[in-house]
Structure 1
């Protein structure tokens, strides 16, 4: 990618919410990248966070001061950093797309920033000093196996796209997405044509807050196809899921139109607004609502990692880390569909798998049923992790935690700290948010951080996946 030339004119910015407040203007030098992807500079000793800047940039910045920090916007890049590159995506600057935060940085600087974000966050919030963690890397483009868009009605037509990073209320029309698998982008192009034709109506949307009517459209590669990212030459099937709305008279017509428009579309699904049926999925090609998810819909709608290649390496590290403790029984918290539980049972280790989602728990039961003798001695608990540990009636010596972005409940860390759980020798924590990982580590003073390893699951963004291995401190 070509280096960006120095800017000679002020950058065109739509004023953000902060611009309504009194602003100061200074020439600032960007020192580093913070969690979230903003550059950080110092103005009179105060940290100022400036989106879309690079370490080493010298910029004229307008910023608003708060109690302990400032929020800024670039007026002009006076001297561009050597780490700056030209963003290849047309939407990154033109539409200020919020899907990526770091396309303007070269690959090495991005990867270094993600490692430093984890190290600094664990130090600042978790009070844990660690060396700069290693980072497993993979494809930088075309790696996403899922693409989720907002469909918003504008007059008589619908547009679909993402939100601007500096104006979450605005949705721009998406033409392409360079981090998504090409098959997803191609299917989206076919759906755009159907939307533009106006031949088929979408569900009735009633926005009770008076805002613009909107729906959510999800595109997902089927199975593990596409694990090689942009380098994968296969043409995988795609599942299409539309979420929201109350009534849909032309549901079947929509399904037929989408399937005719693109042969890659394997299934089309609709999940109505929760006020109609919070746990119901309706299959569009049949038109009739069904109780709970059909088996195919479970697969289409279930959570899955967006970067299959890196996710495979992460799962291998978690599996190896658990086995290094030579466990007699493992508690697999936030177990999902039971992939890890099944693999551990196949290796002869009984598992208690805890998963709150009924569809995921049902899948985990099926996996363990096929996992041999240790699978027969394993079980699945469909409940919240904090409730499950309170009633756990068997001893486990290794705990795996793979929580959502909000981290684990305080009752779970409290349970691990309790004297009654001294038999637990190891914890393997998989995190998608360094801040909540650090917070949870601060709640675990009896545990020593043995190893931290990062996985570059989301190139071009500030997000990073982390595996943290913890050992019980000696009494």
Structure 2
């Protein structure tokens, strides 16, 4: 929070539309105010928390005229100046999804010139998990990174390094809460991440230490595997196992995996339905992680096809190779996507030469492909794919592209790049994989023309 001077400044505001980032937009004397803890249509009294040259930030501290969508936040740590982990606990779940849909639609229209009605779909809990969930929209986060301040565990406040101490996180999966991380002191730690597999019940705790001081790890309520400090490059780490479509995936340490128990299966099914991979085709899985989409593609293109996965993180590459070791039609390449795409040897992208679509010796891990790629899925980090990757894919891929994104703004930016290069948005699906927060998972399917 910016220093505001000797007296806090309060504003009475009429709240307008939702904005990207967990805010709503209001105006004061012609100046834009981004307001947290408010809903569209409300009249609120707001505390200014930050000033910039072009706009203000504020927290709604008193609701003068409430929206019909307003509810009492279930978590006692939610609210102005408190935990910054959740953005929309004060809105009903249907209202949260409507707000996220409005954000996705606005970003598409503003950044990509695409007008599209958006519906945010619920991500269902697996049946075996649903009975243990503490309530609708709660108990879903299987990976929670807690901050530590002077040994006390909590979560950071919004746009702040300050830590809000907590004794329970309501959006954390029950398997994370079972460890009791928040109910112990962690002297010498800067952060503690609790990880649980909703498939197998595997539990992992990752402790980051403050400086060179060795953190004290307390005895937890249940047995866990422990990762302490920054892992050494190439060193094997403790892992959890996740199951999707009958296949087990090893995910080591803090490696990426969807945090909602139902999201990995739902997204895998959705990507396969969008791309419709055919036997004998060549597919790319960019930012492939531990191989979730690679596996689904490999099973569908069959032994005569080929799937090339590209990932920059060394531990994820090792996990992917282990997870997919039974699939001879898979090649996993390590490196930045834009660089590896440039190193892979592809022939014509129009599919005219399909006679030698095989993996042979070549650059990096040894992948040479003739005839280009038929389909591609990319699931980049929040920063998106970017222009260099889009430029390469636009000429490399022949039939379909599935773009998975957790950031509507960078997705819309990249869709604009694709549009300039002759690709059209065919379908868009959005999923509420992060209830109570501003975040939303999107799947955009693109075709030529």
Q: What TM-score, normalized by structure 1, do the two folds share?
A: 0.77
The 5-angstrom pairing of residues 401-416 of structure 1 reads 401-416=378-393
Instruction: State the alpha-carbon separation in 2 of the partners of residues 68 and 21 from structure 1.
Output: 22
Distance 1:22 1:404 in 2: 41
Is this contact kept in 1: 2:142–2:175, CA < 8 A? no
2:398 maps to what in 1? 424
Tell me if the contact between 1:217 and 1:240 (Cα under 8 Å) persists in the aligned partners.
yes
**Alignment of structure 1 residues 29-68 onto 2, 5 Å:** 29-61=14-46, 63=48, 66-68=52-54
Task: Give the conservation status (yes or no) of the 8 Å contact 1:327–1:398.
Answer: no
Instruction: Give 2:108's match in structure 1, choosing from 98, 101, 122.
Output: 122
In structure 1, the partner of 2:329 is: 377
The whole-number CA distance in structure 2 between the counterparts of 1:323 and 1:217 is 41
- 8 Å contact kept, 2:59–2:80: no
Distance 1:149 1:390 in 2: 39
Closer, same or farther in 2 for the Cα pair 1:65/1:250, shift >3 Å? closer
Question: Is 2:323 the counterpart of 1:367?
Answer: yes
Structure 2 residue corresponding to 1:101, chosen from 74, 81, 87: 87
Seen in structure 2, the aligned counterparts of structure 1 residues 115 and 248 have a Cα distance that, compared at 3 Å, is same
Task: Give the match for residue 373 of structure 2.
Answer: 396
Counting only pairs closer than 5 Å after superposition, residues 299-314 of structure 1 correspond to structure 2 as: 299-314=252-267
Q: Residues 202 and 19 (structure 1 numbering): CA distance in 2 closer, same or farther, change over 3 Å?
A: closer
Residue 183 (structure 1) aligns with: 175
Which of 313, 331, 337 is matched with 2:290 structurally? 337
Deviation readout 1:72-115 (Å, 9 max, x if unpaired): 33353221222111111110138611000100111111110011
Q: CA deviation at 1:173?
A: 1.3
CA distance in 1, matches of 2:306, 2:389: 21
1:161-218 residue CA offsets vs partner (Å, 9 max, x unmatched): 011125x1211211111111123123135x634x2xxxxx845xxxxxxxxxx51100
Q: How does 1:110-259 map to 2 (within 5 A)?
A: 110-138=96-124, 139-153=136-150, 158-165=151-158, 168-189=160-181, 192-193=183-184, 195=185, 202-203=187-188, 215-222=190-197, 224-225=199-200, 236-245=201-210, 247=212, 254=217, 257-258=218-219
Deviation at 1:119, TM superposition (A): 0.8
Q: Which residue of 2 aligns with 1:13?
A: none
- Please state whether the residue corresponding to 2:119 is helix, strand or coil: coil
In the alignment, the residues of structure 1 paired with residue 32 and residue 23 of structure 2 have an alpha-carbon distance, to the nearest angstrom, of 11
Q: How far has the Cα of 1:71 moved from its partner?
A: 2.3
Number of aligned residue pairs: 397
Map 1:2-17; keep pairs closer than 5 Å. 16-17=1-2
Listed one character per residue, the Cα deviations across residues 320-372 of structure 1 (whole Å, up to 9, x for unaligned) are 2122677710011011111221222122142011111122212222333312x
> Equivalent residue of 1:108, what SS?
helix
Deviation at 1:417, TM superposition (A): 3.4
Distance 2:61 2:72 in 1: 18
Q: 2:309 matched to which residue of 1? A: 353
Q: Conserved in 2, the CA contact under 8 Å of 1:364 and 1:380?
A: yes
Q: Which runs of 5+ in 2 are unaligned?
A: 125-135, 241-250, 346-368
Structure 2: distance between partners of 1:327 and 1:35: 41
Distance 1:94 1:127 in 2: 35
How far did 1:249 drift? 6.2
Query: Would you say the 8 A contact 2:379–2:404 is kept in 1?
Result: yes
Indicate if the aligned counterparts of 1:30 and 1:57 stay in contact, CA closer than 8 A.
yes
Q: Provide the C-alpha distance between the structure 2 equivalents of 1:104 and 1:223, rounded to a whole number of angstroms.
A: 27
Contact 1:222–1:300 at 8 Å: present in 2 too?
no
Distance 1:238 1:62 in 2: 41
Q: What residue is the counterpart of 1:230 in the other structure?
A: none
Q: Does 1:443 align with 2:443?
A: no
Q: Answer 1 or 2: which has greater strand percent.
A: 2
RMSD: 2.7
Secondary structure of 1:369's aligned partner: coil
The Cα shift of 1:441 comes to 1.2
CA contact (8 A) 1:47 1:69 kept: yes
The answer as to whether partners of 2:204 and 2:239 remain within 8 angstroms in 1 is no
Aligned to 2:354: none
Check 1:81–1:470 CA distance in 2 against 1; reply closer, same or farther (3 A cut): same
Give per-residue Cα distances to partners, 1:297-337, cap 9 Å, x unaligned. 86243221110213321111012212267771001101111
1:451 CA displacement: 0.7
Residues 1:106 and 1:250: Cα distance change in structure 2 (over 3 Å) = closer
CA distance, structure 2, for counterparts of residue 457 and residue 442 of structure 1: 25
User: How far off is 1:387 after superposition?
Assistant: 0.4
SS in 1 for 2:112: coil
Taking the aligned partners of 1:91 and 1:53, their CA distance within structure 2 comes to: 17
* Contact 2:285/2:294, CA 8 A, preserved across alignment: yes
Question: Are residues 216 and 26 of structure 1, via their aligned partners in 2, closer, same or farther at CA, if it must alter by over 3 Å?
Answer: closer
Structure 2 CA distance for partners of 1:50 and 1:134, relative to 1, 3 Å: closer
